[in-house]
């Protein structure tokens, strides 16, 4: 006696797969007895195929990152918040939990004091649109105290209509 909502996969004529979103609701009479059901169905095949393509792409990218053992970082310039992956933390001798919360100051804290001005200048040039990518080689302090050489690459993913960095 309760409405049911769900998604089902049907095979259409010719063997084509068709995803359908369904809502089935009972209709009751004055005594509360179910007299019939109303069903609304919507073709959601394009959405499901898009979701599958996005999931496939996500899995491929995860495989690339894992296979190359790349340490990755992201930086939200508006908030100053950052995100690093597990491998980036491992390169510095940390767990992800030990580094939380990640901010731009996290990068500054682990970067060798002699290297940071060069890193900062290179970032500013990229932010100003003078280079398509940011790239720097620097030393980062491992949790154990020794220095790890890191080749750091990245790019701004969102710019204003005039080419500036969105903050």
Both tokens of residue 149? 């050489």
Q: CA-based diameter of the chain, in Å?
A: 83
Partner residues linked to 23 by β-bridges: 5, 40
Query: Is residue 166's pLDDT more than 90?
Result: no
pTM: 0.70
Q: How confident is the model at residue 137 (pLDDT cuts 50, 70, 90)?
A: very high
Question: If pLDDT is split at 50, 70 and 90, which confidence band does 167 have?
Answer: low
CA atoms within 13 A on the CB side of 150: 29
């Amino acid at each position: 006696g309760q409405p049911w909502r769900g998604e089902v996969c049907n095979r259409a004529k010719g063997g084509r797969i068709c995803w359908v979103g369904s809502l089935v609701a009972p209709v009751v009479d004055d005594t509360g007895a179910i007299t019939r059901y109303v069903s609304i169905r919507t073709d959601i095949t394009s959405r499901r195929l898009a979701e599958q393509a996005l999931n496939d792409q996500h899995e491929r990218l995860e495989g690339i990152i894992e296979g190359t053992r790349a340490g990755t970082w992201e930086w939200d310039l508006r908030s100053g918040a950052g995100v690093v992956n597990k491998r980036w933390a491992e390169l510095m001798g940390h767990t992800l939990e030990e580094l939380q919360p990640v901010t731009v100051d996290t990068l500054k804290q682990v970067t060798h004091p002699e290297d940071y001005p060069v890193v900062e200048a290179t970032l500013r040039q990229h932010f100003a649109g003078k280079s398509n990518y940011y790239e720097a080689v620097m030393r980062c302090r491992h949790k154990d105290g020794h220095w790890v050489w890191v080749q750091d690459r990245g790019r701004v993913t969102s710019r204003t209509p005039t080419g500036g960095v969105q903050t």
